[in-house]
Structure 1
Amino acid sequence: MAQSLIHFLLVYSFDAGRLIREEEFTDTRMAVTAYEAAEAEFRNSDEVARFEVVLVGADSIETVMRTHGHYFKDADEAMFADLLASH
């Protein structure tokens, strides 16, 4: 049986050198809505070029950490403890 796709909304701060937001969604519409809201939020920021907002689909956060490792390189491990514990 195939695993369900999980969507991960990631907001990376270039100034901080780490993720400043991560959210997990199993509902595609909710994920897209949250992505659009985050894009609008950071697009309207005076520091627009200092953030990257991405929505990634995968079977687990571990897969995202492997495929998009540059977002997690210097991340605070505590930030992901809750997310990893939920799996």
Structure 2
Amino acid sequence: MSAIQHFLLVFDHRSNELIEQRSFGQDIHEATKRYGEMEQQYENCHAIDIVLVGSDSIETVKITHANYFTGESMKLVQNALSEFSR
């Protein structure tokens, strides 16, 4: 079994994009410290989700929390389609 890694995700619903993705490895103290800082920074902004996730890998997080990564993917697809249709 892999050791739990800690990942911080900050998602902006206004722009539908992940504005921060950070890995802390196994350092839960640094991860929770940064999580608290982000919560304070965005305390009055209800369009921002701040999520601290423990998982075996970022690949697993991208599956379990796909809604935070889909917006980025959709933007890339839309950009590619608009380039193709020119």
TM-score by length of 2: 0.79
Aligned pair count? 72
1:12 partner amino acid: F
Could you list the runs of 4 or more consecutive aligned residues of structure 1 that deviate by over 2 angstroms after TM superposition? none
Report how far residue 50 of structure 1 moved.
1.0
Determine helix, strand or coil for the equivalent of 1:57: strand
Q: What's the RMSD between the two structures over aligned residues?
A: 1.1
Partner residue in 1 for 2:49: 52
Higher gyration radius (CA): 2
1:1-87 maps to which residues of 2 (within 5 A)?
A: 2-26=1-25, 27-43=27-43, 45=44, 48-75=45-72
Gaps of 5+ in 1: 77-87
Q: Give the unaligned 5+ runs of structure 2.
A: 74-86
**Percentage of matched positions with identical amino acids:** 36
For residues 63 and 46 of structure 2, the distance between their equivalents in structure 1, rounded to whole angstroms, comes to 25
In structure 2, what residue type is equivalent to 1:37? E
